């Protein structure tokens, strides 16, 4: 049955369910007697709440309860938390403004929930929500992170006077932290004494995560024993349970069951704990009835944590032989009105350590100032920090090559890391890789050397053709829980847990603490289990997302499932295999060492004696004739804590054609060569690359969560104005190839693949555009108008 | 959505009657603008009078150099109509460019014209071809019909019954899609009538909605070649400016799309 095992492009088991409408999403869950919650949200970006008048609303038909922030606070409900502590370079802790689930006294972004109306129907709740009278005193708003640091910027949170470590006695009012990584003095010296220095200013545009399924909550409460059940669109049910119980105090952990049924995408936005989960649990307890909330798309725009939003200046120094000497990066990161669950981690440890890229850069210094603005909180979106880092480094190198008149590919090649493990000057230690091999493959596959002929042919058709390169580095699995994770400020561990149950009839259940939300986990995990015993994947079921079934887990984000989830499954399978062999040896009256497994059978090497997996599992449960040193059952659990992150890498080549009359860009060829280590299901992994590249293409060409700077309104607040990539935006030609350099950091040698496409593609696309235009002055999204304007001003200057 | 009463009249006369009696009634055809607005609680009509099923408003015919399209004809029906494809292929092509398949199978020509969204495609064809809008009360020439953003010459309760298009010698529509919404950021319809007159209508770009580009028409009247448009200067001051495109960019697109339309006519 090797066809179903590791390395086979098995069609996804779960797709039959998804494509025939048989999936069960949180919105599909309806409980008897359920009530509906509707949130009254701030129409203002920044305002004092002078008064809230519920008298009219509470008299409306069907209204059961109306909840406020003050009520939750009096009931002992704590604020939403940020789970990663970052310390400023002067030793100050990060400045966390209070984030009550329902606003108290002040609102800090348009869409912030203030009041929750619970009624018998959704329509009744909406009618009553409209009758809630809130009197605001509006305040000046700031949405741009650079403006937020200016001395005259409106102060979004009120902090106590700071200690003397800050200049002028206190931190700039909207500063969250001023953090650094790397050696500032050594980097400055390297740049000062260098032959060549190249500088770039960049904005990494803000994006809306846009999962196909919007967030939803169904909260149920059983008063007889105080037990809660929460159905929720979450990427990490166990972590959510810890946060809701231990930190927010809305339900005790042992009486809170969280079920993530089918989840329709997340891209990071469903990692975090949101107000709506807290409020619906509270409301269910008060009403003694289930409470449901399903986000509308307009609410999703205004409440799902956004991504990116960096403003960066970077400079890189080379010696006279074009070897990199130093890299200095200064970034201002917009974290929105409040700090979301992992907001502080994204522009720090998921960003700065990646700035070494695939290169030997002896000196690196990164300074990051995180700021509050009157915008939706910003947190992880696919790639989370790594796309921002890759964009800085790969655009800077491309610009350097052009400015210095050297070949772009050769400039990279000359500076590649070639020996592993490699300790970067910014924390991470790369375990394995072959960056030269990736680049060589990508250049060959993209016919890089023949580009000039294609450019000339395009010119005859009146098109400007450009080619761009991006060599990205990834860091998957967040961080090891052990020494480093804790020391860097993590509030959580980052291990994973799996349990394998072999049923009495020999079928296998894999229970694992990750949470697939479109990635194909049910197929991938089944292949690993099937591979171990040589059984078909149809004999394997995969269970995720229910805290009553799966005992522990850390969820799915940061491309961590491949490295950590599969490793936990692998370790549990090791235990199962050991016990099964012991039982088989007993049944076959042979020695354990002589037992081999193939095609669902346990054989004694060199003989024709064998028993099936079913024989073994039946014996384990009937337990009629097994010796006393074996326990009944065939069910094992394992935790896996990685010794380090994994470091996938790749080389992307993008080729574009620009219509100079309109400025329209067409991606005519995209070549991706990725090193994800070993690969379980190449088809699924290629699908992840395709999706990731399209995600990056969206950011590079189409998507921008634009705010009106004066009013703080999200102007691009619907898909009429916020442009998602469509099928016709796909590259006309898409080539993908693997290079496999297995990581030594986990048993299967897997590195992770879910984010790579979104990390590597934006600079490849923009570098192709700058190549076509002959100007570096293009920002994302590179809309037709921006390109047309760049051509107009180039024409005027020429 | 607020509560509303839905009516399905059997005739145009009954529809008008129902609307006149309603406290705050609205006609609905494809509903592609009205229903989302109602869902967002930005509109709350007391009554909805559905015109989409009235047989009087259906059908496509071609006779004596005129193509007539019933107001409740869907974009898909126009795009796939043999009669339209044969007589005015540019009109069929335009209908096939509206929105996506779901939109084209529900949205109607009458609804699009009555709504007169500044980014809608049909107004460009109606104005460019010099069509006539027939209502339950009168006939309105295209040049008199579009009066501003989301406003038309239609009176309260007046219903578009059909639209008749004179078959041109040649016509073409070139559309630059707004990336997000797929409406026209700028669309230019160029038609050369049988008597040789050239009409050029621009949608998506005008600050007051669809308009005829008089300077381009003038340039083309001398020489029906795209080169003739090069010398025309489009004044951005009368054009829309929003997050999808500035007036200057739209001014450029007017020329580029007009040239492409002229080239397409050949």
Q: What CATH number does residue A101 fall under?
A: 3.90.1170.50
Nearest CA in chain A to B183: A720
User: Are residues A594 and A675 both part of a single domain?
Assistant: no
User: In chain A, which residues have their Cβ closer than 8 Å to the Cβ of B245?
Assistant: 785
Interchain contact B97–A (C-beta under 8 A) = no
Q: List chain A residues with CB under 8 Å of B176.
A: 662
Q: How confident is the model at residue A544 (pLDDT cuts 50, 70, 90)?
A: very high
Optimal mutation site among A711, A785, A789, A790, interface B, most CBs of chain B within 10 A:
A785
A447 touches chain B (CB under 8 A): no
Of residues A485 and A288, more confidently modeled: A288
Which are the contacts of B156, defined by CB distance < 8 A and separation ≥ 6?
none
Q: Are residues A586 and A729 in the same domain?
A: no
Residue of B248, B163, B257 lying closest to B202 (CA atoms)? B257
- Whether chain B has a CB inside 8 Å of the CB on A407: the answer is no
Two tokens at A237? 């049910």
A439 and A295 in a single domain? The answer is no
Chain A residue numbers with beta carbons less than 8 Å from the beta carbon of B40 are 298
Residue A229 lies in a domain: yes
Q: In this structure, is residue A762 part of a structural domain?
A: yes
Residues of A with Cβ-Cβ distance to B249 under 8 angstroms: 784-785, 788-789
pLDDT computed for residue A623 by the predictor: 86
Is residue A149 domain-resident? no
Residue A610 and residue A597: Cα distance in Å, rounded?
Answer: 9
**B101 confidence band (pLDDT: 50, 70, 90):** very high
Using a CB-CB distance cutoff of 8 angstroms, which residues of chain B are in contact with residue A126? 41
Question: Is A126 close to B253, i.e. CB distance below 8 A?
Answer: no
Res A644: pLDDT: 87
Q: What is the least distance, in Å, from the CA of B243 to any CA of chain A?
A: 8
Cα-to-chain-centroid distance, residue A127? 36
| Residue A163 pLDDT exceeds 70 | no
* Cis-peptide, bond into residue A781, ω within 30° of zero: yes
Instruction: Report DSSP letters for A615-632, one per residue.
Output: HHHHHHHH-SS--TTS-S
Q: Please tell me the predicted confidence (pLDDT) of residue A798.
A: 52
Say whether residue B8 is in contact with chain A using an 8 A CB cutoff: no
Instruction: Give the closest of A662, A715, A719 to B176, CB-based.
Output: A662
Contact at CB, B245 and A123, closer than 8 angstroms: no
At residue A643 the predicted structure's pLDDT band, cuts being 50, 70 and 90, is confident
Report whether pLDDT(A797) > 60: no
Closest CA to A737 of A441, A529, A473: A441
Q: Is residue A172's pLDDT more than 90?
A: no
Ordered by where they begin, the domains of chain B are 5-50 (3.30.43.10), 55-166 (3.30.465.10), 170-265 (3.30.390.50)
Q: Given this model, what pLDDT does residue A118 score?
A: 98
| Mean pLDDT for all residues in chain A | 95
Residue A757's domain comprises 310-479+644-797
pLDDT of the residue at A36: 98
Angle between helix A756-773 and A784-797 (nearest 10): 30
Tell whether A298 lies on the interface with B, counting CB pairs under 8 A: yes
User: Does A716 touch chain B if contact means CB atoms closer than 8 Å?
Assistant: yes
Total domains, chain A:
3
Residue A234 lies in a domain: yes
Quick check: is A22 in a domain? no
Structure-token pair, residue B27: 């006609």
**Mean pLDDT in chain B?**
96
What's the number of CA atoms in the CB half-sphere (13 Å) around residue A675? 29
Q: Where residue A561 sits, what CATH number does that domain have?
A: 3.30.365.10
pLDDT mean over A107-126: 98
Is the pLDDT at A486 greater than 80? The verdict is: no
Query: Are A629 and A656 contained in the same domain?
Result: no
Using alpha carbons, select from A573, A591, A574, A571 the residue that is nearest to residue A582.
Answer: A591
A451 lies in the same domain as A499: no
* Final residue of a structural domain among A607, A640, A673: A640
**pLDDT in the model for residue A488:** 76
- Are A723 and B256 a contacting pair at CB < 8 A? no
- Nearest by CB to residue B181, choosing from A130, A298, A720, is A720
| Interatomic CA distance for residues A572 and A569, integer angstroms | 5
A123–B41 C-beta distance less than 8 A: no
Q: Tell if the CB–CB gap between A788 and B245 is shorter than 8 Å.
A: no
Using alpha carbons, select from A331, A193, A344, A212 the residue that is nearest to residue A270. Answer: A212
Q: What is the pLDDT of residue A178?
A: 96
Measure CB to CB from residue A298 to each of B40, B180, B245 and give the nearest one.
B40
- How far apart CA A437 and CA A452 sit, in angstroms, is 23
Q: Do B76 and B104 meet the contact criterion of CB atoms below 8 Å apart?
A: yes
| Domain shared by A275 and A314, yes or no | no
Q: Does A122 touch chain B (CB under 8 A)?
A: no
State whether residue B42 sits within 8 Å of chain A by CB: no
Is residue A21 in some structural domain?
Answer: no
In a domain, A517, yes or no: yes
Instruction: Tell me what pLDDT residue A483 has.
Output: 45
Report the distance separating Cα A177 and Cα A172, nearest Å. 10
Residue B256 CA to residue B254 CA, distance in Å, equals 6
Closest-CA residue to A735 (of A355, A490, A402, A447): A447
Domain C-terminal end among A611, A640, A669: A640
B3 contact residues in A (CB cutoff 8 A): 123
Domain boundary among A585, A613, A640: A640
| Residues A620, A724 share a domain | no
The reply to whether residue B1 touches residue A721, judged by beta carbons under 8 angstroms, is no
| Paired tokens of A551 | 């005992």
Q: How many CB pairs under 8 A join A and B?
A: 38
Residues A301-329: tens digit of each pLDDT: 999 999 999 999 999 999 999 999 999 99
Please tell me the predicted confidence (pLDDT) of residue A4.
86
Closest to A229 (Cα-Cα) out of A511, A514, A548:
A548
Tokens 């080389």 sit on residue? A651
If asked whether residues A623 and A725 sit together in one domain, one would say no
Mean pLDDT in residue range A731-748: 94
Q: Which residue from A minimizes the CA distance to B245?
A: A785
Q: Are residues A590 and A682 in the same domain?
A: no
Residues of A in contact with B177 (CB under 8 A): none
What is the rounded average pLDDT of the residues B59-87?
Answer: 97
pLDDT classification of A484: cutoffs 50, 70, 90: low
**A193 within domain boundaries:** no
Q: Cβ of A721 and B181 within 8 Å?
A: yes
Residue of chain A minimizing CA distance to B247: A785
Query: Do A467 and A514 belong together in one domain?
Result: no
A92 Cβ under 8 Å from any chain B Cβ: no
Same domain, A718 and A792: yes
| Percent over 70 (pLDDT), chain A | 98
H, E, C per residue of A112-145: CEEEEEEECCHHHHHHHHHHCEEEEEECCCCCCH
pLDDT at res. A482: 54
Shared domain check, A324 and A232: no
| Res. A1 pLDDT band, cuts 50 70 90 | very low
């Amino acid at each position: 049955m090797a066809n179903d095992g590791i390395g086979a492009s098995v069609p996804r088991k779960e797709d039959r369910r998804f494509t025939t409408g048989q999936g069960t999403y949180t919105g599909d869950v309806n409980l008897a007697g359920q009530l509906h919650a509707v949130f009254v949200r701030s129409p203002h970006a920044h305002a004092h709440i002078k008064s809230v008048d519920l008298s009219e609303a509470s008299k409306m038909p069907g209204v059961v309860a109306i909840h406020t922030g003050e009520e939750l606070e009096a009931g002992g409900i704590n604020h939403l938390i940020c789970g990663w502590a970052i310390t400023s370079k002067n030793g100050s802790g990060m400045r966390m403004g209070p984030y009550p689930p329902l606003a108290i006294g002040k609102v800090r972004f348009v869409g912030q929930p203030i009041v929750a109306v619970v009624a018998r129907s959704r329509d009744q709740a909406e009618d009553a929500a409209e009758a809630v009278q809130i009197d605001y005193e509006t305040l000046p708003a700031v949405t741009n992170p650079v403006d937020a640091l200016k001395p005259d910027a409106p102060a979004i949170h009120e902090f106590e006077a700071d200690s003397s470590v800050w200049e002028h006695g206190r931190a700039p009012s909207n500063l969250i932290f001023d953090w650094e990584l790397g050696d500032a003095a050594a980097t400055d010296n390297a740049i000062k004494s260098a032959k060549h220095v190249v500088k770039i200013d960049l904005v990494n545009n803000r994006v809306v995560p846009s999962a196909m399924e919007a967030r939803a909550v169904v909260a149920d409460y059983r008063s007889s024993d105080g037990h809660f059940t929460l159905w929720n669109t979450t990427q990490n049910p166990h972590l959510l349970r810890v946060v809701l119980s231990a930190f927010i105090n809305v339900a005790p952990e042992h009486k809170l069951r969280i079920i993530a049924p089918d989840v329709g995408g997340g891209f990071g936005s469903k990692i975090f704990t949101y107000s709506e989960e807290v409020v619906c649990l509270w409301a269910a307890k008060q009403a003694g009835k289930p409470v449901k909330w399903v986000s509308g798309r307009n609410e999703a725009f205004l409440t799902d944590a956004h991504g990116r939003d960096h403003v960066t200046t970077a400079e890189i120094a080379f010696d006279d032989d074009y070897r990199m000497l130093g890299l200095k990066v200064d970034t201002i990161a917009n974290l929105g009105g409040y700090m979301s669950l992992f907001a502080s981690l994204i522009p720090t440890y998921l960003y700065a350590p990646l700035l070494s890229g695939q290169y030997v850069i002896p000196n690196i210094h990164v300074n990051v100032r995180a700021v509050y603005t009157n915008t939706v909180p910003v947190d992880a979106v696919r790639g989370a920090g790594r796309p921002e880092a890759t964009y800085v480094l790969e655009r800077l190198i491309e610009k350097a090559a052009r400015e210095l008149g050297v070949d772009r590919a050769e400039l990279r090649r000359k500076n590649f890391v070639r020996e592993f493990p490699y300790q970067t000057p910014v924390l991470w230690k790369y375990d394995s890789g072959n960056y030269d091999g990736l680049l060589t493959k990508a250049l060959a596959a993209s016919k890089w050397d023949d580009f000039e002929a294609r450019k000339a042919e395009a010119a005859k058709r009146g098109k400007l053709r450009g080619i761009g390169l991006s060599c990205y580095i990834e860091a998957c699995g967040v961080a090891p829980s052990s020494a480093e994770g804790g020391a860097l400020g993590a509030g959580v561990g980052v291990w994973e847990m799996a349990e394998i149950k072999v049923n009495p009839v020999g079928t296998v259940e894999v229970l694992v603490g990750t949470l697939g939300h479109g990635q194909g986990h049910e197929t991938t995990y089944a292949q690993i289990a099937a591979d171990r015993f040589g059984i078909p994947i149809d004999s394997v079921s995969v269970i995720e997302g229910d805290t009553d079934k799966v005992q522990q887990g850390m969820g799915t984000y940061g491309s961590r499932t491949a490295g950590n989830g599969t490793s936990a499954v692998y370790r549990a399978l090791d235990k199962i295999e050991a016990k099964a062999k012991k039982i088989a040896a007993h049944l076959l009256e042979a020695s354990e060492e002589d037992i081999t497994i193939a095609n669902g059978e346990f054989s004694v090497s060199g003989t024709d004696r064998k028993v099936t997996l079913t024989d073994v599992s039946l014996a384990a449960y009937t337990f009629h004739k097994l010796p006393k040193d074996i326990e009944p059952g065939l069910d094992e659990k394992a935790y896996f804590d990685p010794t380090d992150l994994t470091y996938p890498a790749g080389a992307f080549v993008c080729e574009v054609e620009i219509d100079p009359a309109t400025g329209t860009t067409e991606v005519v060829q995209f070549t991706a060569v990725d090193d994800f280590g070993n690969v379980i299901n190449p088809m699924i992994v290629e699908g992840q690359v395709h999706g990731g590249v399209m995600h990056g293409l969206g950011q590079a060409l189409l998507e921008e969560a634009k705010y009106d700077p004066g009013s703080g309104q999200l102007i691009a607040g619907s898909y009429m104005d916020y442009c998602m990539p469509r099928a016709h935006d796909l590259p006309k030609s898409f080539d993908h190839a693997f290079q496999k350099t297995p990581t030594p950091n986990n048993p299967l040698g897997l590195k992770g693949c879910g984010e790579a496409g979104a990390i590597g593609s934006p600079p490849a696309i923009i570098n192709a555009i700058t190549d076509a235009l002959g100007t570096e002055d293009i920002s994302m999204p590179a809309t037709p108008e921006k390109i047309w304007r760049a051509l107009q001003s180039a024409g005027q200057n020429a | 959505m607020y509560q509303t009463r839905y009516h399905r009249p059997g005739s145009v006369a009954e529809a008008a009657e129902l609307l006149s009696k309603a406290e705050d009634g609205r006609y609905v055809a494809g509903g592609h603008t009205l229903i989302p607005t109602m869902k967002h609680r930005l509109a709350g009509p007391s009554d909805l009078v559905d015109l989409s099923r009235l047989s009087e408003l259906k059908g496509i015919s071609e006779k004596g150099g005129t193509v007539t399209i019933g107001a409740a004809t869907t974009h898909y029906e126009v795009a796939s109509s043999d009669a339209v494809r044969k007589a005015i292929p540019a009109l069929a092509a335009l209908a096939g460019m509206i929105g996506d398949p779901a939109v084209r199978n529900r949205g109607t020509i009458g609804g699009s014209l009555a709504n007169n969204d500044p980014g809608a495609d049909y107004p460009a064809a109606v104005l460019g071809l010099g069509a006539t809008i027939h209502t339950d009360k009168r006939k309105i020439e295209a040049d008199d019909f579009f009066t501003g953003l989301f406003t038309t010459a239609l009176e309260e309760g007046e219903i578009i019954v059909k639209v008749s298009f004179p078959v041109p010698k040649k016509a073409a529509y070139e559309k630059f899609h707004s990336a997000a919404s797929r409406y026209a950021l700028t669309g230019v319809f160029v038609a050369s009538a049988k008597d040789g007159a050239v009409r050029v209508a621009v949608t998506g770009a005008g600050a007051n909605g669809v308009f005829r580009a008089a300077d381009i028409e003038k340039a083309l009247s001398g020489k029906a070649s795209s080169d003739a448009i090069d010398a025309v200067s489009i004044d951005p001051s009368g054009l829309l400016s929003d997050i999808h495109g500035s007036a200057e960019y739209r001014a450029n697109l007017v020329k580029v799309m007009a040239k492409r339309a002229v080239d397409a006519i050949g």
